[in-house]
Amino acid sequence: MAVAIVFTVIVVVLVILFIGLRVIKQYEKSVIFTLGKFTSVKEPGLRYVIPVIQQMDRVDMRVRTLDIEKQQVMTKDNVPVNVNGVVFFKVTKVQDAVIKVQDYEYAIAQYAQTALRDVIGGMTLDTILAERQKIGDEIRKIVDKETDQWGLDVQVIKLQDIEVPDDLKRIMSRQAAAEREKRAVIIKSEGDKDAAKNLADAAKTMATSRGAMQLRTLQTLDGLGPTASNTVVLALPVEIMEFFQKLAKKD
Q: How confident is the model at residue 185 (pLDDT cuts 50, 70, 90)?
A: confident
Q: In terms of residue numbers, what domain contains 219?
A: 212-223+233-251
- Residue 121 belongs to a domain: yes
123 lies in some domain: yes
Q: For residue 237, tell me if it sits in a domain.
A: yes
Domain presence at residue 103? yes
In angstroms, the Cα distances linking 150 to 85, 87, 96, 102 are 22, 16, 5, 10
CB 96 within 8 A of CB 102: no
185 domain residue, yes or no:
no
pTM of the model: 0.63
Phi, psi of 24 (to 5 degrees): -100, 125
Residue 63, pLDDT above cutoff 90 = yes
Confidence of residue 164 (pLDDT cuts 50, 70, 90): confident
The SS3 of residue 245 is helix
Q: Total structural domains in the chain?
A: 3
Q: What pLDDT sits at residue 218?
A: 55
Q: What is the pLDDT of residues 103-147, one digit of tens each?
A: 899 999 999 999 998 898 888 888 888 888 888 899 999 998 888
Judgement on whether residues 25 and 70 belong to the same structural domain of the protein: no
Same domain, 73 and 133: yes
**Based on the domain organization, do 69 and 41 belong to the same domain?**
no
Residue 89 sits in the same domain as residue 39:
no
Yes or no: say if 163 and 117 are a contact pair by the CB < 8 Å rule: no
Do 72 and 160 lie in one domain? The reply is yes
* pLDDT for 241 beyond 60: no
Tell whether 191 is covered by a domain.
no
| 113 lies in some domain | yes
189 is a domain residue: no
Integer angstrom CA distances of residue 111 from 54, 98, 141: 33, 18, 12
Residues 75 and 144 occupy one common structural domain: yes
User: Could you tell me the CATH number of the domain that includes residue 123?
Assistant: 3.30.479.30
As a whole number of angstroms, the distance between CA 66 and CA 49 comes to 31
